[in-house]
Amino acid sequence: MSLGLYLAVSVPALVVAGRWLKGFGKEGLTADDAEEATQTIDGLRAQLDAVTKERDEALQAARRAKELALAIAEPAGQEPEQAEPRTAEGGAEDGL
């Protein structure tokens, strides 16, 4: 009961003070500074942007490769396979 009351009072106090609840440790409740959390979020956003850019470049390269393969196959009189490309999860990839 007293732990619940402590949490009910301390969590809003941490928010008002600009700190984030980090968890329970050997010393009890610990908190991160909001600045440290903001830096972590900014770093993760930068990583996400980089990975998204790499994914977009890979999709564009795959589209070009597919178009080239179709262009090569058509003059030879071959019918290109019309099966949908599969992703690692087993579903069709959008846009390819």
pLDDT confidence of residue 38: 83
Where is pLDDT greater, at 73 or 6? 73
pLDDT score at 45: 97
DSSP state of 92: B
Contact by Cβ (8 Å): 77, 71: no
pLDDT in tens, 10-48: 667 666 655 555 555 555 556 666 677 788 899 999 999
- What's the rounded Cα separation, in Å, for the pair 3 and 33? 23
Return d(Cα 71, Cα 6) in angstroms, integer: 70
| Dist CA 65 CA 88 (whole Å) | 19
* pTM for the whole structure: 0.45
pLDDT tens column, 44-75: 999 999 999 999 999 999 999 999 999 888 76
Which has more confidence, 2 or 22?
A: 2
Q: How many CB atoms lie within 10 A of CB 21?
A: 14
Q: How far apart are CA 60 and CA 58, in angstroms?
A: 5
- For CA atoms 53, 54, 59, 61, give the dihedral sign: positive
